[in-house]
Chain A
Amino acid sequence: MSAPQLEIQLIAALVAVACALPGVFLVLRRMAMMSDAISHTVLLGIVLLFFVVRDLESPWLILGAAGMGVLTVVLVEVVNNTGLVKQDAAIGLVFPALFSLAVILISRFASGVHLDTDAVLLGELAFAPFERLTVLGIDLPKAVWVMGGIVLINLSLIAVFYKELKLATFDPALAAALGLAPAALHYGLMTMVSVTAVGAFESVGSVLVVALMVGPAAAARLLTDNLKRMLALSAGLGVVSAIGGYWLARGLDANIAGSMATVTGILFVVVLVLAPERGLVALAQRRARQRWEFAQAMLAIHLLNHEGRPDYDEESKVVHLQEHLRWTPDFAAGVVARALEGELVQHRNGNLELMEAGRELARQRLMH
């Protein structure tokens, strides 16, 4: 591998981690679509600040963009608070307005500069290694410094405010009652998302920002019930998507950012299907197991109900289960076989008889 190839993958991985960390909180707060809005409207911030400073390299652009991200959140809340429009619609109203304003401004007044709308959507990761910056004698692509810095900032903010972010996300009312300013944390988080979006979007474009904020976090949620592990998994899955996407792009000779987003999507589907406890396969297995368990409990309760009654002989014959419980012959045979194997029932003179475990099961199930 050549140095630029390694550098591209490094940038992609840093972008993925930077996005995947705040993405966890967006997903848990059911604000995933806010990342879509912010990653587009930051462009307006960049354009407006560019008109002021006339320099695309200026760090002021990041501040302006972050401010526009927060303004997007505020505007969505204002529209939502009128009570006339729901939040999803409010997002759909606010961000296209701000984004299209940016597009018009660029095409009308800034068409000569390096600010084109294609790059906004998909980024220019392949060219990122050409733009270099030497810090402390180390020569690396500028994007590595920028995204590395954003990863560090996001990591330290989440580490320092972990407890507060957790409470403000789980129970904002208690957070407010305890004086742990959930509103300030909310806007702090939105600022983090905005800064991340600006940094990331230069390299990978706004579409991938959304994919990397939502995809890895949503997949991580399916893999763990622990917030810290969810953060780590989200970052890890982000890195896998980034590196995997790079190699997919090479294999297909396609756009890197697009390939990364594709791998993010594929990874999510794989997790959705195969996640150990929450995945679709695990779910189907659990349902099937529960169906058999429930049927065995039904059988035990049925036998218990008729125990000692004159109709017991009649009711406890396997063939009668089909008729009385309306089970198909195959299903009845399956249930009886499992109940026999689990020593819930035993055969006696052609009838089924409850064993101690079966009687206990029936009693337990009847109590609940």
Chain B
Amino acid sequence: MTDLAIEITDLTVAYQDKPVLWDVDLAVPTATLMAIVGPNGAGKTTLIKAVLGLVKSAAGQVLIHGKAYAEQRHLVGYVPQRGSVDWDFPTSVLDVVTMGRYGELGWFKRPGKTEREAALEALAQVGMADYASRQISQLSGGQQQRTFLARALVQNAQLYFMDEPFQGVDATTERAIVDILKSLRAAGKTVVAVHHDLQTVPEYFDWVTLLNVRRIASGPVAEAFTEENLRLAYGGRVAFLSPHQHAPSEPAGGG
């Protein structure tokens, strides 16, 4: 059982009485890159937030490497949606990346030289070494995304949840992020990412979950990412160019 990075059983989340996730089961093996895809309002972000305990689940159980999330916090890194924070906050890029160490530091302890060095190293990894002292309001969308990624990297986690890591980034940044994801997998880490571009799923990921309130399919891309499953998830709203893996991206972006 412990070679499963995530094991979710019967997870149900509802806002008031409207179900957002309905009885979702999911098992993700260690060292995979998994995409969560589905139409707007399918519950992709909610799934991640429920796993991290950020929204209350009405039912179900989540195990991270065999134990409850509260016991495994230190193993988990989180990249929220770029738009979820105020980029006009008075702080620097280095400071934001250092925040990734706050969990390990715990209450009261202040970040010091070790944390700063780890943050600088992570910034170098994402190609942002020159931006360490930059004010965060001056960053472009791609740079914001890289900063968030660096912040997750300093968490030095085993399992990463990323909410739309490619949202609003240019092709170069997308390439750079994919390379980092693949190096994480090579290091035995697991990445779960909410993804919007169906076309790049087979290229970037090796595992996929199709979600539309219920789990439509989950498994290796070759097995789960089929035309029939896509049609089930998107309700026939996806026109297929070729019968195999190259479906066009969904019509509209967003959550």
Is there a chain A Cβ closer than 8 Å to B91's Cβ? yes
Is there a chain B Cβ closer than 8 Å to A170's Cβ? yes
**B102 lies within 8 A of A171 (CB):** no
Query: Contact partner of B78 among A173, A221, A227, A230, CB < 8 A?
Result: A173
Is there a chain B Cβ closer than 8 Å to A176's Cβ? yes
**A163 lies within 8 A of B90 (CB):** no
**A178 lies within 8 A of B103 (CB):** yes
Is there a chain A Cβ closer than 8 Å to B105's Cβ? yes
Known: A160-B108, A173-B78, A177-B78. A227 touches B99 (CB 8 A): no
**B102 lies within 8 A of A180 (CB):** yes
The size of the chain A interface, using a CB distance under 8 A, is 25
Is there a chain A Cβ closer than 8 Å to B180's Cβ? no
Query: Contact partner of A179 among B70, B137, B151, CB < 8 A?
Result: B70
Is there a chain B Cβ closer than 8 Å to A226's Cβ? yes
Is there a chain B Cβ closer than 8 Å to A174's Cβ? yes
Residues from chain A with Cβ under 8 Å of B84 in the complex:
171, 173
Known: A167-B102, A170-B91, A227-B91. A176 touches B111 (CB 8 A): no
**A177 lies within 8 A of B70 (CB):** no
Docked CA distance A161–B102 (Å)? 12
Is there a chain A Cβ closer than 8 Å to B85's Cβ? yes
Docked CA distance A160–B78 (Å)? 25
> Nearest-CB distance from B75 to chain A (Å)?
12
> Nearest-CB distance from A297 to chain B (Å)?
19
Residues from chain B with Cβ under 8 Å of A179 in the complex:
70, 73, 103
Interface string of A153-196 (1 = CB under 8 A from B): 00000001111101101110111111110000000000000000
Residues from chain A with Cβ under 8 Å of B73 in the complex:
177-179
Known: A170-B96, A171-B80, A173-B54. A178 touches B102 (CB 8 A): yes
Is there a chain B Cβ closer than 8 Å to A87's Cβ? no
8 A Cβ contacts from B76-113 to A: 76, 78, 80, 84-86, 89-92, 96, 99, 102-103, 105, 107-108, 110-111
Is there a chain B Cβ closer than 8 Å to A361's Cβ? no
Interface range on chain B (Cβ under 8 Å from partner): 20 to 34
Docked CA distance A175–B96 (Å)? 12
**A169 lies within 8 A of B89 (CB):** yes
Query: Contact partner of B110 among A163, A178, A225, A226, CB < 8 A?
Result: A163
Query: Contact partner of B85 among A164, A170, A176, A227, CB < 8 A?
Result: A170
**A227 lies within 8 A of B90 (CB):** yes
**B99 lies within 8 A of A170 (CB):** yes
Interface string of A255-291 (1 = CB under 8 A from B): 0000000000000000000000000000000000000
> Nearest-CB distance from B207 to chain A (Å)?
22
Residues from chain A with Cβ under 8 Å of B107 in the complex:
164, 180
Docked CA distance A315–B70 (Å)? 69
The closest CB in chain B to the CB of A181 belongs to B107
**B54 lies within 8 A of A226 (CB):** no
Is there a chain A Cβ closer than 8 Å to B53's Cβ? yes
Is there a chain A Cβ closer than 8 Å to B135's Cβ? yes
- Among A170, A177, A224, A226: residue with most chain B CB under 10 A: A177
Query: Contact partner of B76 among A169, A175, A177, CB < 8 A?
Result: A177
**B91 lies within 8 A of A226 (CB):** yes
Residues from chain B with Cβ under 8 Å of A230 in the complex:
90
Is there a chain A Cβ closer than 8 Å to B52's Cβ? yes
The closest CB in chain A to the CB of B89 belongs to A170
Docked CA distance A230–B90 (Å)? 8
> Nearest-CB distance from A11 to chain B (Å)?
30
Query: Contact partner of A171 among B85, B110, B135, CB < 8 A?
Result: B85
Docked CA distance A130–B105 (Å)? 49
**B90 lies within 8 A of A226 (CB):** yes
Residues from chain B with Cβ under 8 Å of A178 in the complex:
73, 102-103
Docked CA distance A351–B220 (Å)? 66
Residues from chain B with Cβ under 8 Å of A161 in the complex:
108
Interface string of B177-197 (1 = CB under 8 A from A): 000000000000000000000
Residues from chain B with Cβ under 8 Å of A90 in the complex:
none
Docked CA distance A325–B52 (Å)? 56
> Nearest-CB distance from B130 to chain A (Å)?
17
Residues from chain B with Cβ under 8 Å of A28 in the complex:
86, 89-90
> Nearest-CB distance from B124 to chain A (Å)?
22
Interface string of B49-73 (1 = CB under 8 A from A): 1001110000000000000001001
Docked CA distance A162–B111 (Å)? 11
Known: A167-B102, A225-B137. A174 touches B78 (CB 8 A): yes
Given A171-B84, A177-B73, A179-B103, 5 more pairs with CB closer than 8 A: A163-B102, A163-B111, A169-B89, A179-B73, A225-B135
4 interchain residue pairs of minimum CB distance: A178-B103, A177-B78, A225-B135, A177-B52
27 chain-A/chain-B pairs, Cβ below 8 angstroms? A28-B86, A161-B108, A163-B102, A167-B99, A170-B86, A170-B89, A170-B91, A171-B80, A171-B84, A171-B85, A171-B99, A173-B54, A173-B84, A174-B80, A174-B99, A174-B151, A176-B53, A176-B54, A177-B52, A177-B53, A177-B78, A180-B102, A225-B90, A225-B92, A225-B135, A227-B89, A227-B90
A interface, CB within 8 angstroms of B: 28, 160-164, 166-167, 169-171, 173-180, 221, 224-227, 230
